[in-house]
Amino acid sequence: MNYTNYGIRPELVERVKVKMKNPVVKERVKQALHGVTKYDLQDRLKVRRLIRTSAGILQEQLTEVQEEQLTAFVIGQKIDPNNTIHLIKLWAMFR
């Protein structure tokens, strides 16, 4: 399922992609996500906290609605960060 099906705007995704090309920003986001498990990515509160932390690093102001859309998207993907196939699928969705 595509992120636009969750109401996430392509403009937001494009801004984040550009910001993630900065190696310093990318490293800070990676550090914020270090150690996250598939169970963490199914916990609404933890996902919301990760989104807020990442948005702060990226200097993106998110509305409550945007946070909820992003949270629903992450939970809906059932991501296992230790599963290479899951990561490739996500990478393909956002490249």
Per residue in 21-39, pLDDT tens?
A: 999 999 999 999 999 999 9
Residue predicted with more confidence, 94 or 65: 65
**DSSP 8-state class, residue 22:** S
How far apart are the C-alpha atoms of 71 and 43, rounded to whole Å?
9
How far apart are the C-alpha atoms of 95 and 35, rounded to whole Å?
24
Q: What is the mean pLDDT of residues 62-71?
A: 97
Please report the pLDDT score of residue 33 as a whole number.
92
Q: What is the total residue count of the chain? A: 95
How far apart are the C-alpha atoms of 84 and 11, rounded to whole Å?
27
Residues with Cβ < 8 Å from 16, sequence gap 6 or more?
58, 60
Q: Would you say 85 and 79 are in contact if contact means Cβ atoms under 8 Å apart?
A: no
Share of the chain above pLDDT 70, in %: 99
Please report the pLDDT score of residue 95 as a whole number.
73
* Residue 2, H or E segment: none
Q: What is the pTM of this model?
A: 0.89
Q: What is the mean pLDDT of residues 49-55?
A: 96
Q: Which two tokens stand for residue 27?
A: 């490293």
Residue predicted with more confidence, 92 or 50: 50
Q: What is the mean pLDDT of residues 41-51?
A: 96
